[in-house]
Amino acid sequence: MSLTAAELGRKIKSGEVTAVQAAQEALDAIAAKETAVNSFVTVVDRDKVLAQAENVQKQIEAGEYADSPLAGVPVAIKDNMCIEGILTTCSSKILNNFYPTYTAEAVLNLQK
């Protein structure tokens, strides 16, 4: 899928694509290219990502996120933004085993 975030958001909102399909495609692209480009410090477990996408899709279908043009669009969070329970190293060896106990406000805002 070669779309802008806004285009993908419109397709998800219209039902042409689901949030789960978008997440699967993003994960497949990461799996296919990550060893060559090495752009991610941490890739969240596939099952966890798909479960979250399924939850968002149900909310979209229930009419939630009506005003959100990016609901269901997969995003990557930079490794210096804390997400509770997800390895966050800031690309520093000193933080090579840091799992935050909170989620950064910026990430929480993206999740809304």
pLDDT tens-digit map of 84-93: 999 999 999 9
The set of residues, in sequence order, having a beta carbon less than 8 Å from that of 79 and lying 6+ positions away, is 41, 42, 88, 89, 90, 91
Average pLDDT for 56-65? 95
- Note whether 19 and 56 are within 8 A (CB): yes
Residues 44 and 87: their CA atoms lie apart, in Å, by: 9
- Whether pTM exceeds 0.75: yes
For residue 51, what pLDDT band results from cuts at 50, 70 and 90? Answer: very high
Q: Where are the domains of the chain?
A: 1-73, 77-112
